Amino acid sequence: MEYIDFLKEVKEKALREEALTEEEGLKVLSIPDEYLSELVEAASEVTERFFNNEVEFCSLINAKNGGCSEDCSFCAQSSKYPTPINAYGLVSKEEMLEGAERAVSINANRYCIVVSGKRATKEEVEKIAEAVREIKEKYPIKVCCSIGTVDEEDLTLLKEAGVNRINHNLETSERFFGSIVTTHSWKERYETIKKIQKVGLSTCTGGIFGMGESDRDIVDLALTYRNLNVDSIPLNFLIPIPGTPLEKAERLTPEKCLKIVALFRFTNPKAELRLCGGREQNLSELHDTAMEIANCLMAGGYLTRAGRNPKKDKEMVERLGKKLLRNGEIFSLYKEERNGK
């Protein structure tokens, strides 16, 4: 009964929006596998309370690939490592618009423009802002950007163009960060998130799990996001990439991944939880189960890796009895127009 009572306690704290302690977070991650069903039931109740039965798809465009000066140990786009990717500069405005249309076609409610590098140049930000203006005129979709360490001037320009959210991941705890990145600091990324919030933009900031971090690092990241009051938390699970320092990293078990998803729900009950890179491979047979806790997912592929067919994700949502969130009546009108009605 110890774990049953414990799960009831953390669930009730989450429903009351009370913070978990570090010790409680560590206990969630160490729950015996035989209590997984009770863990999922407790965490899913929190999700249902704050997000009803709705699921949101988001989609991205890899608008600038490779050639990055940073040495993130998990990343195929670093110029420091001999990884098998096709590097290219910022894509055209037309390609960004085509990406938005693809996102709408796969039922995405959000579309993120992502560029490689420590930070986008002023010229790149201006070109992205120009594309966003046209996207907002043509397509019923919310637009996000992931463009590195930006300043308030760039953020304001993007906000005025129609961007409502910026992605900027901390990736892991401050304690462990230096073990995976040396060319920039965790504090620098943290301060960028504060700038995003200062200009009134929504925050999307998450982590990658399976890089060799400890349970304490995972809990610290979850509690950091609670303290920052972030709006969206993308949960990525490492896919070891040949040529990177983490190419031989040992994959987390599906059970461990599920416990991580539950931890972030208990610690951040009102944040959108997004299953992103590596969800298919790492969660494996527990993928559908994880979507009883998470309420969003990245559909249609990732930065340098393909995802599963969006039709399978849509079928999963229907199988779980959930409602796919779309951008209101405008989405329906768009679909009717596309179908010639």
Structure confidence at residue 46 as a pLDDT band (50, 70, 90)? very high
Question: Most distant CA pair in the chain: distance in Å?
Answer: 60
Q: Is the pLDDT of residue 243 over 50?
A: yes
Give CA separation, 176 vs 81, 106, 209, 222, 245, in Å.
21, 36, 12, 14, 15
* DSSP at 327: S
Q: Is the pLDDT of residue 301 over 80?
A: no
Closest CA to 113 of 131, 86, 133: 131
Q: What is the pLDDT of residue 86?
A: 80
Closest CA to 268 of 200, 196, 205: 205
Q: What is the pLDDT of residue 328?
A: 47
**Residues 165, 240, 166: CA angle, nearest 5 degrees:** 5
Q: What is the pLDDT of residue 68?
A: 84
H/E stretch holding 135: helix 122-138
What is this structure's pTM?
0.93
Per-residue tokens: 92? 């055209």
Q: What is the pLDDT of residue 31?
A: 97
Q: Is 317 exposed, middle or buried (0-12, 13-18, 19+ CB in 10 A)?
A: buried
- Residues above pLDDT 70, as percent of the chain: 93
Query: What pLDDT digit, counting tens, does each position of 315-339 carry?
Result: 999 999 998 887 644 444 444 555 5
Q: Report the pLDDT averaged over residues 271-289.
A: 94
Query: What pLDDT digit, counting tens, does each position of 131-149 carry?
Result: 999 999 999 999 999 999 9
Q: Is the pLDDT of residue 254 over 70?
A: yes
Question: Looking at domain 2-338, which CATH architecture does it have?
Answer: Alpha-Beta Barrel (3.20)
Q: Which residue has the higher pLDDT, 79 or 275?
A: 275
Q: What is the pLDDT of residue 330?
A: 44
CB neighbours (10 Å) of residue 90? 21
d(CA 325, CA 316): 14
- Decide: helix, strand or coil at residue 229: coil
Q: Is the pLDDT of residue 223 over 50?
A: yes
Q: What is the pLDDT of residue 341?
A: 42
Q: Is the pLDDT of residue 67 over 50?
A: yes
H/E stretch holding 207: strand 207-209
d(CA 92, CA 83): 25
Closest CA to 263 of 228, 221, 295, 227: 221
Is residue 63 within 8 Å of residue 330, measured between CB atoms? no
Per-residue tokens: 251? 């994959």
Q: What is the pLDDT of residue 87?
A: 81
Q: What is the mean pLDDT of the chain?
A: 91
- The domain ranges of the chain are 2-338
Per-residue tokens: 147? 């463009």
